[in-house]
Structure 1
Amino acid sequence: MHPSHGLRAVRVGSVTGAGLAGWQANSGRSLDFVRKVPVRYWCPQGHETVPVFADLTEAEIPQSWDCPKCGQTAGRERGLLVQHSGDEPFKSHLDYVKERRTPAEAAEALDRALTELRRHRTAPG
C-alpha cells in the first residue's frame, strides 16, 4: 500500500476525529444509550441464569426462563418451583431421538456409523 494512501490505519465505518467524540462533533448527534436490566433466575437445581433485557418495565420482564444448563424452568426467586407455561414438559434432544427410534434401530444406526468411521480411518491417503 502506498504510504500516502488516505485510508491507512482507519477502521471501516470510522469518521474523522477522535473516536466517539469526533463522531458526535461531525454529526451533531449524540448516542442514546438503552438502559440494560439484568434479571436473575434460578432453576430447581440451583443454576443461576442472568439474561439482560433492554429497558423493560417490571410487568414486561418474564417471570420464568429456561435454564441453559439443565433446561428446567427457572424462576425469579431462589428455591421457588415454577411450572412451565407450556403444555409439554421439557424434553432434551436425546428424549426426542428416543421417541423416533427403538433401541434396536438405535443400535443398528450406531453400528453403521462406527463401521463408516472405521472405514475412513483405515483408508489409505
Structure 2
Amino acid sequence: MGERTLRGARLGGQSFEDERGIEFAARQNVGYACPQGHEFEVPMSVEADVPAVWECPRCGAEALNRDGLTKEAKVEKPVRTHWDMLLERRSIKELEEILTERLELLRGGEIGPAHLHRPSKKKAKSA
C-alpha cells in the first residue's frame, strides 16, 4: 500500500515550474485617481484597450484615468412599450376590428370567464 500512495505538495504550495526561458508580455502601468483622493496604478498589457474608469480598490468608487481618457457616453435606445410593438404589427383600424369581434364573442358568452357572461333571456314558465 505504501508504494501506491500519491505524493504531492500542500494546498496553496509553490509551483515546481521555473521562469527560465519565459518571455513576459510587455506591460504598462496605468494611473487612476478616485474622487476620494486615492491614487493607484494598474499593470496592463501594452496591447490592451485602456479603460477610462476603474473601480478604486480602497473605497469602490469610480476612479478616472489620470491620462485624460474620458468615459464614452452610451447611446440609449428609447423604451419600446407593448403598444409600440403592437403598432409595428397592426394598424389602428385592424386593432379596432379585432376589438369589436372579441367584444361580440365575450358578450355572446362564447369566450371569457363564466361570471362575465350575461344570463340568457329565458321565458319564465307559468305554473
What TM bracket, shorter-length normalisation? 0.3 to 0.5
Higher-helix-fraction structure: 1
Tell me the TM-score normalised to structure 2 length.
0.36
Q: Give TM-score scaled by structure 1 length.
A: 0.36
Q: Which has the larger radius of gyration?
A: 2
